[in-house]
Amino acid sequence: MVNKEEIYPELITYVTELMQGNGYAPGVLCNITAALHDALPHYFWVGFYVVRDGELHLGPFQGPVACYRIKKGRGVCGTAWAKAATVVVPDVDQFPGHIACSSLSRSEIVVPIISDGEVVAIIDVDSRDLNAFDATDQHYLEQLACLLASTTLFAT
Ligand code: SME
C-alpha cells in the first residue's frame, strides 16, 4: 500500500520542477500527468480539461481515451467548474449525470484551477476503486491547482 502522505509532497516538488522546464505548455502538462500517474497507483486516469469557448475541452492526460468536450454543470467535471470547488465522488454510479468515459472508473475527484477568480481548467482523476480519494488527495491536488494557476500554462 502506497503512503500518500509521503508521496504527495515529493510529487509537488517534482511537478514544480517540471513546470519550470520552460517547455511547450501541452508538453509540460503531459509531463505533469505522467508524473502523477506513475507515482500514484490509485490514479487510473488523470488529466486536464481546459476552458475554451464556454466549454471544457480535453487536455493532456494519462489513461484511457476520454470524451472531448463537457458543458458547464454536466458530469463531475462540469459540476466542479460550475461550483468553482473540488468535487469528490466516492462512487460514480451514485453521482447523477456522471459521464462514464471508461466503464472501469469507480470513483473520481475533480479540482478546479482558478486564476483571477475564473476557472481556467480542471484536474480530473479517476480510480478503478470505490472511495479512492480522501482529504489527502484533495489537499495536495488543490495545492497543485494553486501552483498551476500561477503559471501561464493555460493561457489562451
Ligand atoms: N467522469 C467525468 C468525465 C471525464 S472522464 O472521467 C475522463 C465527468 O463525469 O465529468
127, 105 contact by CB (below 8 A) = yes
Residues in the chain with pLDDT values less than 70? 1
Of 36, 55, 76, 87, which is best to mutate to test ligand 1, by the most ligand atoms within 8 angstroms of its C-beta?
76
Q: Separation of 76 CA from ligand 1 center, angstroms?
A: 6
- Whether ligand 1 lies within 6 angstroms of the CB of 126 is answered as yes
Q: In whole angstroms, give the CA distance from residue 62 to residue 133.
A: 18
pLDDT at 22: 75
Strands (E), 13-136: 45-52, 55-62, 69-70, 87-89, 107-115, 118-127
Rounded to the nearest integer, the mean pLDDT of the chain is 96
Nearest protein CA to atom 1 of ligand 1, as residue = 99
**Ligand 1 centroid vs 156 CA: distance in angstroms?**
23
Q: CB of 59 closer than 6 A to ligand 1?
A: no
**DSSP-derived 3-state class of residue 46:** strand
- Ligand 1 centroid–CA 140 distance in Å is 20
**Distances from the Cα of 21 to the Cαs of 32, 103, 109, in angstroms?**
11, 35, 27
Nearest CA to ligand 1 atom 6: 101
What pLDDT was estimated at residue 1? 67
Tell me if 123 CB under 6 Å of ligand 1. no
